[in-house]
Amino acid sequence: MTDMVFGTVASQPGDPILPRWWRSLDRWSLFAVVILFCVGILLGLAASVPLAQRNGLTPFYYVYKQAFFGGVALTAMIVTSMMSPRTIRRLGVFGFIIGFVAILLLPVLGTDFGKGATRWYSLGFTSLQPSEFLKPCFVVFCAWLMAASFDVGGPPGKRWSFIVAIVVTFILAMQPDFGQASLVLAAWGLMYFVAGAPVILLILMALGVSGFGYLAYNNSEHFARRIDGFLNPEVDPRTQLGYATNAIQEGGFFGVGVGEGTVKWSLPDAHTDFIIAVAAEEYGLVMVLFIIALFMALTVRSLFRLMNERDVFIRLAGTGLVALFGMQALINMGVAVRLLPAKGMTLPFISYGGSSLVAGGIALGMLLAFTRSRPQGDMSDALRNG
């Protein structure tokens, strides 16, 4: 059945690792990721030059850094995709413990780089955002807990994963990083739904999130300012959203031309959070639709492959990783076109950012490992374990 669906030959345990990896890999998803990275380099050539000039650096300084971190990310992705699900589970649990300790120590050892939120560690030559690495490890850790609850006499893993999700979400929200907090909670909610959560619990969760949002709006100036800006029918043309909106309108269908865009000179985050605005202005709607198609293809294809997976842990962890990847892209582009409040979230594999790129490479490597073609057990085993 696997061969009929995916058109690949399931590998045998005795095969050499590279041929076995290549035959079992979802190559279309791998190519989509590589193309996304190439698009990011192309857009970085335009979007990062103004920032380099303002900081007195060579014009393509940030492009070179993007290429370096992208190389690290692609290498990490390929190496991780060769691992077995058991190895990834161990890596995820260990990474979650380290990442959790790292975000706990942020108020003491972290820095905000003048952005009003303590999310980074300054390493001198670069910065590190631990929440980016925590996200895929959190998904794997919670999938492990949920899968354990399906075993006869197993622990209450679903309940434990709920406690872990609430604690992590609360810590991220206190940074404040409401974007990452909402992304982590949404990914967990989708995993919990796939694991067979009762609808009433999901409704209670939605009500709880709404209540927390109300409290945050009334007690956090940072949160309230972003919500007010989103709800305001008039867009201030001097804000980042105003510049992005104007750039998208100016781009039209085919764009104003390569290098002819002006929004990159006005937007401080043109190379990160609003890079889709640069793409829309210089390359037009055609480029934006191409980027959306790549994200959709990778997301939908991965979900279809996971539907045929009979291992509960792999199915849950893969679903959570797909949710992280797809929803982050959706949120980034939704903010740029003002369908969502500003979140300060990068576009995976396209926006500039070392932590985002490398962590994204690890996450997609895990996803590629989970979606590899592998011999499936009997359906009776699946019914007994699922």
DSSP string, 346-363: --TTTS--HHHHHHHHHH
Mean pLDDT, consecutive 10-residue stretches, the chain (386 aa), reads: 42 69 92 95 88 88 93 96 95 96 92 80 84 96 94 87 93 86 91 84 79 77 72 69 83 85 82 89 94 95 91 95 94 86 84 92 96 64 44
CA distance 353 to 214: 31
Predicted confidence at residue 366, as pLDDT, reads: 97
Predicted confidence at residue 382, as pLDDT, reads: 42
- One DSSP character per residue, 217-257 reads HHH-HHHHHHHHHHH-SSPPTTSHHHHHHHHHHHHTTT-S-
Predicted confidence at residue 383, as pLDDT, reads: 42
Q: Quick one: tokens of 87? A: 């190895």
CB 357 within 8 A of CB 68: no
Domain count, the chain: 1
Predicted confidence at residue 325, as pLDDT, reads: 94
CA distance 331 to 135: 16
Among 30, 45, 29, CA closest to 279: 45
CB 142 within 8 A of CB 188: yes
Domain that holds residue 180: 2-385
Entry pTM? 0.88
Cα torsion angle, 157, 325, 116, 124, sign? positive
Longest dimension (CA), the chain: 65
CA distance 321 to 137: 9
